[in-house]
Structures are given as structure tokens and as C-alpha cells.
């Protein structure tokens, strides 16, 4: 007769740090000011791509124009990559980064 004995505990104690999950911080897509695109075009892009109403699109465009940049979308990294590529496809200068 062979008896197998395990020295491992049946239950492992979990500390609070083991249970904490560091969620992926939201990412943002930024559109930067450039000397090429008309303000009306930038507003049109925001309305067309993101579906923003005229007021929100205009406010974001004015941030780009006056502050040099605007956060135009937030979300998971993969979506911000797609939004950035879309903005670049429209000829806008756009980047994405982790939100602070």
C-alpha cells in the first residue's frame, strides 16, 4: 500500500495586495493644432467620426486652436489607437497616450 501525503496547504492565504488588480488606466486620443487644417474642417471631422454634436465638436476644435491640443476620445488602448489612426487619416495631427 502506497500512501501519498501532500505538504502543500489545502488553501492558500491571499493577501490584500494579491487581490488588487491594477486596471489599465484609460487612454486618450489627442488632436494637436496644425497650420494646415481649417477650423471648420476640424469641427466637421469631430462631428463625422465621433458623432459629436455641433457644440461639442466646436468646443474641442477651439481647444485645439487656442490651447494647442484637445482630448477628443478616451477609452481602452486599442480604441485610442484606432481613433488616432482615423484622425491621421483625415489629415489631422493626432497621438494617443495613457491618461494621467
Find the range with the poorest average confidence among 15-19, 28-32, 44-48, 66-70. 15-19
Read off the pLDDT of residues 1-21 as tens digits, 9 standing for 90 and up.
655 554 555 565 655 555 555
40-63: pLDDT as tens digits = 999 999 999 999 999 999 999 999
Pick the CATH number of 24-98 from 3.60.21.10, 3.30.1390.10, 2.60.120.920, 1.20.1260.10: 3.30.1390.10
The domain limits of the chain are: 24-98
How much of the chain, in percent, has pLDDT values that exceed 70? 77
Cβ-based neighbours of 26, under 8 Å, separated by 6 or more? 74, 75, 76, 98, 99
Burial of 69 (0-12, 13-18, 19+ CB in 10 A): middle
- Residue 27 CA to residue 21 CA, distance in Å, equals 17
Q: How is 12-65 classified by DSSP, letter by letter?
A: ----HHHH---PPPPEEEEEE--SSS-HHHHHHHIIIII---HHHHHHHHHHHH
Amino acid at each position: 500500500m502506497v500512501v501519498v501525503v501532500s505538504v502543500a496547504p489545502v488553501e492558500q492565504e491571499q493577501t490584500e495586495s494579491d487581490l488588487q488588480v491594477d486596471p489599465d488606466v484609460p487612454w486618450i486620443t489627442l488632436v494637436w493644432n496644425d497650420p494646415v487644417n481649417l477650423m471648420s474642417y476640424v469641427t466637421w471631422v469631430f462631428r463625422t467620426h465621433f458623432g459629436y454634436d455641433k457644440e461639442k465638436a466646436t468646443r474641442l476644435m477651439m481647444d485645439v486652436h487656442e490651447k494647442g491640443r484637445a482630448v477628443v476620445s478616451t477609452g481602452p488602448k486599442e480604441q485610442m489607437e484606432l481613433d488616432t489612426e482615423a484622425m491621421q487619416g483625415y489629415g489631422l495631427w493626432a497621438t494617443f497616450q495613457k491618461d494621467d
